[in-house]
Chains A and B, each alone.
Chain A
């Protein structure tokens, strides 16, 4: 093993999987070996069994659907507004000067601390869940997109001007396409964060969703169900991440060149 030497794709997959195996093995040893009380930590087999029951008999699939819908709804809303604002802030410095201080302040407001207020304003319905995710992702997206757009290589900007580009086509034909792969990366990252906000929103004042199932299970001391819920969240996160990565590679083949 030498610093920075790459591994083969096969070895990469094998190594990645083996840690999952090791993790489950340690967990199984701790639970089946009787080192941890079943009340506090269910063993893997019980977890899978009750997961199956949850899905087949207790309508957990509907909870998963609700949660996914909330994340996507809130996130898409945030992205749809953050993209134009972020691009404008990155491109036009007066617009940045106007919004940036407030957005910088707002992004440190913890989304979860808004939940009581949002319940007061929007009740415990879907609007409140979407609002939590929106607050959690919008300000982060705006700032990061503005930075990426603002960091466009100046020599490319100058080249575009000497080729006769107007100001508006500089934005459309240089700033946006140049920043697009990084913006896609930002969306992927912030979508990951949106997943943590939705669960928090569902832990408080929800009647459906993965977070709601987890709170219900806590009352029953059903650690098997809680763990299953957590693992489902992790799996959905992993899948959406892979999906995003694949789409990004397909959409921006040039960005991966020379890396």
Chain B
């Protein structure tokens, strides 16, 4: 049985005096245990909307989302999320940010610290436990956000362009870090991005969404073995898939530009 199933989920926005805008057409998606699904699409195609509905931060207009067979009605600790914007709590240190969800579950402090320190180590932030978020670079903040989400041991990890605000080199390092953690921890990930390299390198499946109103128009297995080294980005298999996806995404970007003209 799939861990997440999205059934006929659509989203339209109603604004007074205008016909409703359809952001997301009825969408079906099944996520299997230990999948790493990357979702590609032009901006405004509803990929973030889909992710936010799965997170419970947005309500679908129709359809339903099931996590382990149970209907999702709101946000919860079983779906950890990493956002594009820096969402660490500025008044908490790195350590206390990572402890946030653990404290919410009323774990004893010693246990919180044990778990938090293990994840801080995994994301390579040892020595920064007592720093405040504003004292960290963007990449370090996102690594803390990743540790914070992972420390909660969620069923799924939802990521909304988490590396989108980072510079290219930092982003590549973050991709390797996340991929390494995914390979080691056997997590299930839903990852939204508009970076094709990123989608292919990280994903076990890549989905391409159409221009607004969005729907999943392509679902492609990534035929690259794990563990993946960053050098796979230069292999023919990678290049071929990337070229194909580039065509697909490009067509949608052009379509979305035409809509707006």
Q: Assess A164 versus B89: contact at CB under 8 Å? Given A155-B83, A257-B132, A257-B135.
A: no
Asked if A252 is an interface residue, CB under 8 A from chain B, the answer is yes
Interface size on B, residues (CB 8 A): 31
Asked if A41 is an interface residue, CB under 8 A from chain B, the answer is no
Q: Which residue of A lies closest to B135 (CB)?
A: A257
Contact with A along B146-176 (1 / 0, CB 8 A): 0011001000001000000000000000000
Contact between B90 and A158, CB atoms less than 8 A apart: no
Contact with B along A232-259 (1 / 0, CB 8 A): 0000000000000000000011110110
Please measure, in the bound complex, the distance between the C-alpha atom of A173 and the C-alpha atom of B104, giving whole angstroms. Answer: 9
Q: From A165, A169, A173, A254, give the contact of B90 (CB < 8 A).
A: A254
Contact between A254 and B79, CB atoms less than 8 A apart: no
Q: Is the interface of A mostly helix, strand, loop or mixed?
A: helix
Contact between B100 and A163, CB atoms less than 8 A apart: yes
Contact between A160 and B134, CB atoms less than 8 A apart: no
Please measure, in the bound complex, the distance between the C-alpha atom of A162 and the C-alpha atom of B80, giving whole angstroms. Answer: 6
Asked if B21 is an interface residue, CB under 8 A from chain A, the answer is no
Asked if A125 is an interface residue, CB under 8 A from chain B, the answer is no
Asked if B85 is an interface residue, CB under 8 A from chain A, the answer is yes
Q: From B79, B85, B91, B92, give the contact of A162 (CB < 8 A).
A: B79
- Minimum CB–CB distance from A191 to chain B (whole Å) comes to 23
Asked if B76 is an interface residue, CB under 8 A from chain A, the answer is yes
> Please, which residues of chain A bring their CB within 8 A of the CB of B203?
none
Asked if A177 is an interface residue, CB under 8 A from chain B, the answer is yes
Contact between B87 and A178, CB atoms less than 8 A apart: no
Contact between A155 and B85, CB atoms less than 8 A apart: yes
Asked if A180 is an interface residue, CB under 8 A from chain B, the answer is yes
> Please, which residues of chain A bring their CB within 8 A of the CB of B104?
163-166, 169, 173
Contact between B134 and A159, CB atoms less than 8 A apart: no
> Please, which residues of chain B bring their CB within 8 A of the CB of A178?
89-91
Q: Assess A159 versus B81: contact at CB under 8 Å? Given A164-B152, A165-B104, A258-B134.
A: yes
Contact between A163 and B148, CB atoms less than 8 A apart: yes
Contact between A177 and B91, CB atoms less than 8 A apart: yes
Q: Which residue of B lies closest to A159 (CB)?
A: B87
Contact between A158 and B91, CB atoms less than 8 A apart: no
> Please, which residues of chain B bring their CB within 8 A of the CB of A162?
55-57, 75-77, 79-81, 149, 158
Asked if A156 is an interface residue, CB under 8 A from chain B, the answer is yes
Interface size on A, residues (CB 8 A): 24
> Please, which residues of chain B bring their CB within 8 A of the CB of A161?
56-57, 74-76
Asked if B105 is an interface residue, CB under 8 A from chain A, the answer is yes
Contact between B87 and A156, CB atoms less than 8 A apart: yes
- Minimum CB–CB distance from B139 to chain A (whole Å) comes to 16
Please measure, in the bound complex, the distance between the C-alpha atom of A164 and the C-alpha atom of B83, giving whole angstroms. Answer: 15
Please measure, in the bound complex, the distance between the C-alpha atom of A8 and the C-alpha atom of B77, giving whole angstroms. Answer: 48
Contact between B101 and A174, CB atoms less than 8 A apart: no
- Minimum CB–CB distance from B141 to chain A (whole Å) comes to 12
Contact between A159 and B91, CB atoms less than 8 A apart: no
Contact between B80 and A163, CB atoms less than 8 A apart: yes
Most chain A beta-carbon contacts within 10 A, residue among B57, B83, B87, B145: B87
Q: From B75, B76, B92, B149, give the contact of A158 (CB < 8 A).
A: B75
Contact between A254 and B134, CB atoms less than 8 A apart: yes
Please measure, in the bound complex, the distance between the C-alpha atom of A163 and the C-alpha atom of B147, giving whole angstroms. Answer: 12
> Please, which residues of chain A bring their CB within 8 A of the CB of B92?
177
> Please, which residues of chain B bring their CB within 8 A of the CB of A163?
77, 80, 100-101, 104, 148-149, 152
> Please, which residues of chain B bring their CB within 8 A of the CB of A180?
91
Please measure, in the bound complex, the distance between the C-alpha atom of A258 and the C-alpha atom of B141, giving whole angstroms. Answer: 14
> Please, which residues of chain A bring their CB within 8 A of the CB of B75?
158, 161-162
Please measure, in the bound complex, the distance between the C-alpha atom of A153 and the C-alpha atom of B88, giving whole angstroms. Answer: 11
Can you list 20 residue pairs at the A/B interface with Cβ under 8 Å? A155-B83, A155-B85, A156-B87, A156-B89, A158-B87, A159-B89, A160-B89, A161-B56, A162-B77, A162-B149, A163-B149, A164-B77, A164-B101, A165-B104, A173-B104, A174-B89, A177-B91, A180-B91, A254-B90, A257-B90
Interface residues of A (CB under 8 A from B): 153, 155-156, 158-166, 169, 173-174, 177-178, 180, 252-255, 257-258
Closest 7 CB pairs of A and B: A164-B77, A163-B101, A161-B75, A257-B134, A159-B87, A162-B81, A258-B134
